Amino acid sequence: MTYLLHILIFIGIYIILSISLNLLAGYTGILSIGHAAFYGIGAYVAALMALKLNSPFLLNIFLAIIASAIIGALVGIPSLRIKDDYFIIATFAFQIIVFSILNNLVSFTGGPMGLPGIPQPVILGIKISSHISFSILITILCAFTFYVSNKIVKSPFGRILKAIREDEIFAQSLGKNISAYKVKIFMISAGLAAIAGVMYATYITYIDPTSFTVMESIFIISIVIIGGAGNLWGSVLGAIVLVMLPEALRFIGLPNAVAANIRQMLYGGLLVAFMLWRPQGFIGEYTFNRNNEK
């Protein structure tokens, strides 16, 4: 049971991460491979607040969202000038910078040793420590993320995001200030990713920089693409499938060391296969295909 709840909590964390990336990549067409950096920023901000200032969980999660959104804006602004592949490289650089800071600012972040002993959340006097209470909290946060994202993509604001994805020039010709929309969605995407970071930090109670590398970003992208870009349910489905897949490997009796490597191969293989034969993922409506860029 504990094992199942543990899986459920991780599915929840990745649903939040993939929905938040989907807003940016799937709906607005801005592919970023720095998403794990925002995940990490959320985790570190909340962990440091809790450890150094002993501040309450709700304040920590709020500040983690704000901090991540502000940094998101700083990364989003270059996206107005550099496009497509070049922007992907820029987000990669951002990912490396964040990792280096977390890894080298030893006095503050603990460097490679990480931050142990992160307190578990206490919300309105209720301590969240059991697997079941964490599952409930993550479900609420997933629902919140889905609600916010769904509201955005179904609104006229979301219509403009899709227009930017399909044809920026047309959107501009209809008077839409596309730069403002890009920065805003970048901030929202980064802010929501921070929620996942906070949950990870307080659930595991230990974080170190290796949890927030480019590999993690690529895993999140895989969820978005395989689940289906431009469809929020696609991200939910993708997270469920990709988190459960390696667990299935466990049951066919592979030794752990082999399973870990097979896991990476499986993700890579799946990503290539989907890109080739089903670029829209399970239920997506957008393909990262050069032909739809004009």
Partner 1 sequence: MKELLKIQNCNKHFDGITALDNFNCEISKNEILGLIGPNGAGKSTLFNVITGFIPADSGMINFKNFNISKKTPSKINNYGISRTFQDLRLIRQMTVLENVLLAFKDQPGEHLENVFFRNNKVKKIESENKKKAMELLKNTGILNKANDLADDLSYGQQKLLSLLCCLASDAELLLLDEPIAGINPAMIEKILSIINELPKQGKSVIIIEHNMDAINKICNRVVFMDAGKKVSEGTPAEVRNDPKVIEAYLD
| Site for partner 1, rule CB under 8 A | 148, 151-152, 155-157, 159-160, 162-163, 166-167, 169-178, 184, 188, 285-286, 292, 294
Tell the smallest beta-carbon distance from residue 167 to partner 1 (Å).
6
Residue 139 vs 172, nearer CB to partner 1: 172
Torsion of CA 148, 149, 154, 160, to 10 degrees: 120
Tell the smallest beta-carbon distance from residue 266 to partner 1 (Å).
31
What tokens does 207 get?
């974080």
Report phi then psi at 122, rounded to 5: -125, 120
Residue 46 vs 160, nearer CB to partner 1: 160
Residue 17 vs 229, nearer CB to partner 1: 229
Tell the smallest beta-carbon distance from residue 91 to partner 1 (Å).
23
Residues in the chain: 294
- Residue 227 · residue 236 · CB < 8 Å: yes
Alpha-helix runs per DSSP H in 77-155: 84-104, 106-109, 131-154
Residue 117 vs 175, nearer CB to partner 1: 175
- Residue 27 · residue 161 · CB < 8 Å: yes
Q: How many CB atoms sit inside 10 A of residue 228's CB?
A: 27
Residue type, 203: Y
Residue 124 vs 169, nearer CB to partner 1: 169
Q: Residue 82 carries which DSSP code?
A: S
Tell the smallest beta-carbon distance from residue 92 to partner 1 (Å).
28
Residues paired with residue 123 on neighbouring β-strands, in sequence order: 126
Tell the smallest beta-carbon distance from residue 224 to partner 1 (Å).
17
- Residue 46 · residue 193 · CB < 8 Å: no
Tell the smallest beta-carbon distance from residue 81 to partner 1 (Å).
14
- 13, 119, 194 from 198: Cα distances, Å: 10, 11, 6
Residue 181 vs 203, nearer CB to partner 1: 181
Residue type, 241: V
Residue 64 vs 163, nearer CB to partner 1: 163
Residue 176 vs 278, nearer CB to partner 1: 176
Biggest CA–CA distance in the chain, Å, is 59
What whole-number distance in Å separates Cα of residue 112 and Cα of residue 224? Answer: 29
Tell the smallest beta-carbon distance from residue 120 to partner 1 (Å).
30
Q: Which residues contact 28 (CB under 8 A, 6 or more apart)?
A: 161, 162, 164, 165, 181, 182, 185
Tell the smallest beta-carbon distance from residue 133 to partner 1 (Å).
28
